[in-house]
């Protein structure tokens, strides 16, 4: 199964890439969840909350800044999602005049995969757009689910 999400953001490819790969920035739009990696092909990444809850981990399969990032994705936040196994997330950035089209494809999902695996993408992408265009965090219910005062950075 494959889920594709597309959004336009008024920003540069470089700023968008930074927002995707910076733990500090990601915490502001991704449920308060940070990410750690050295962002090289074949390297590992880990994401989690400031309080130490592991959210996801995987491998950076392709790293082509500021255009494309392909990652294996292992959800870790509950036993149900852990049982879903490994899927793949592809981030594709294309400049369109003074904006970027960001396409996130979450694929290699099993048929009838739990919606928990892909159901948060639109809130995450909306938070990313809001952050880059206004400098503010999206505060819809759930968008700051794991947010806390301290930052999460676990060397990956």
Inter-helix orientation angle 121-134/13-21, to 10°:
130
Among 125, 132, 120, 94, which residue's Cα sits nearest to residue 10? 132
Confidence band for 147, pLDDT divided at 50, 70 and 90: low
Give the tens place of pLDDT for each residue, 51-85: 899 999 999 999 999 999 999 999 999 999 999 99
Q: What is the pLDDT of residue 96?
A: 98
What does the pLDDT average to over 83-103?
98
Q: What is the pLDDT of residue 2?
A: 97
> Is residue 86 within 8 Å of residue 58, measured between CB atoms?
yes
> Is residue 18 within 8 Å of residue 25, measured between CB atoms?
yes
Q: What is the pLDDT of residue 64?
A: 98
If you search the block for the tokens 């700023």, which residue do you land on? Answer: 15
Q: What is the pLDDT of residue 57?
A: 98
CB atoms within 10 A of CB 39: 16
What does the pLDDT average to over 88-95?
98
Q: What is the pLDDT of residue 149?
A: 41
Give the tens place of pLDDT for each residue, 103-122: 999 999 999 999 999 999 99
- Residue 151 in this model has a pLDDT that exceeds 50: no
- Decide: residue 11, CB within 10 A, 0-12 exposed, 13-18 middle, 19+ buried: buried
> Is residue 41 within 8 Å of residue 59, measured between CB atoms?
no
Look at the alpha carbons of 56, 90, 9, 115 in this order and tell me if their dihedral is positive or negative: negative
Among 28, 56, 55, 21, which residue's Cα sits nearest to residue 147? 28
Retrieve residue 5's tokens.
């999400």
Q: How far apart are CA 72 and CA 61, in angstroms?
A: 7
Q: What is the pLDDT of residue 150?
A: 40
The percentage of residues in the chain with a pLDDT greater than 90, rounded to a whole number, is 83
pTM of the model: 0.90
Determine which of 33-42, 69-78, 146-155 has the lowest per-residue pLDDT on average. Answer: 146-155
If you search the block for the tokens 């005062």, which residue do you land on? Answer: 149
């Amino acid at each position: 199964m494959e889920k594709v999400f597309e959004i336009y953001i008024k920003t540069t490819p470089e700023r968008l890439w930074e927002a995707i790969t910076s733990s500090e920035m990601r915490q502001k739009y991704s449920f308060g969840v940070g990410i750690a990696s050295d962002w090289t092909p074949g390297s590992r990444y880990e994401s989690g909350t400031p309080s130490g809850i592991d959210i996801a981990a995987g491998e950076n399969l392709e790293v082509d800044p500021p255009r494309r990032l392909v990652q294996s994705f292992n959800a870790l936040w509950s036993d149900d999602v852990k049982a879903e196994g490994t899927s793949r997330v592809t981030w594709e950035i294309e400049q369109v005049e003074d904006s970027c089209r960001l396409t996130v494809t979450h694929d290699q999902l099993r048929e009838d995969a739990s919606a928990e695996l892909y159901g948060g993408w639109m809130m995450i992408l909306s938070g990313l757009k809001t952050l880059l265009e206004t400098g503010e965090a999206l505060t819809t219910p759930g968008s700051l689910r794991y947010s806390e005062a301290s930052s999460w950075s676990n060397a990956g």
